[in-house]
Structure 1
Amino acid sequence: MKKLIYIVFVYATIGTITISCGDSKKKETEEITIEDKELPAEERAEKALYDEVMAIHDDVMPQMDNMMKLKGELQVKLDMAREKEEATEETLRALEAGIKKLEEADEAMMQWMRDFEGQDNVEDHEQVMNYYTTQKAEIEKVRKMMLSAMKNARHQLQSIE
């Protein structure tokens, strides 16, 4: 009976937290929407483009951990292949190239983050829009680079096993 009460209590607590978090998120979204309507059209456009840039960044940023895991797995395969001296030069070069692609993608993301600057203090609308448009293209290139390097690494790991 105590276990049943405990289980009901836990589920009720989780439900309450979920509902209250959802409500605050809804209120936050409504506030942002209301605030956005109060902004001049140019500022809304700037904010929308900035949000697009950040959405791409936020989508790929969590992939950084996956990239480092894949790099580690490739490095282990490379080290094992060198120790056993069973791998061909082609396999060794492919593993090294896979690691290098992951490192380059990682550095590209780090460089983009170092270089990116919000344009809150820039008055020229056209300049802000050009900057965010350029940054959107840059973060898209980083995204493609990361996804390509990870796909390549996964393929290498599958082909070696």
Structure 2
Amino acid sequence: MADDDLDDDMDDDEDLDDEEGGSGGGGGKKKILMLAIPLVLIIGGAAGAYFTGLLDPLIGAEESAEGEGGEGGEGGGEAAGPVAFTDLPEILVNLNTTGRKSSFLKIRVSLEVPNALEVDKVVAVQDRVVDAFQVYLRELRVEDLKGSAGMYRLREELLARVNAAVAPVKVNDVLFKEMLVQ
């Protein structure tokens, strides 16, 4: 009988050991998870704030971005001043069509130049710019002007043509004020 009691006591001890071992191992895993989850969330939040630009004022990224733009730009070391704009006259051209129905393009653009001193130089050769635009625009089809990709290609092409016409002055951008395809 004493042996039976000892066997029962030993079985109870083994059951207790199994329960403690199971909960002890789980407790260690819980502690790791309780530390790892907040750590991952904090790192993820910090990375998200960094990539969205929320941390730029804190880490001074605005100053370094301005410094990089000033060094590698095409301005040749000129001081960054206010830009100036000049409007071109309205241009109305026939578009290139294959059928009998004719299509028209009516466009008004504004040119962005680096400073007000350059505006006079651009206005002096304005007729040359309008001629370059008309020659190009007459060869366009309605399909060429569809969508944002068409507008982007048109802007890039007009910018290249205006810079060729007004060289050595550099035009920064061509801005569309009105564009009507009929």
TM-score, normalised to structure 1, is 0.30
Write 1 or 2 for the structure with the bigger share of helix: 1
Write 1 or 2 for the structure with the bigger share of strand: 2
Q: Which has the larger radius of gyration?
A: 2
TM-score, normalised to structure 2, is 0.28
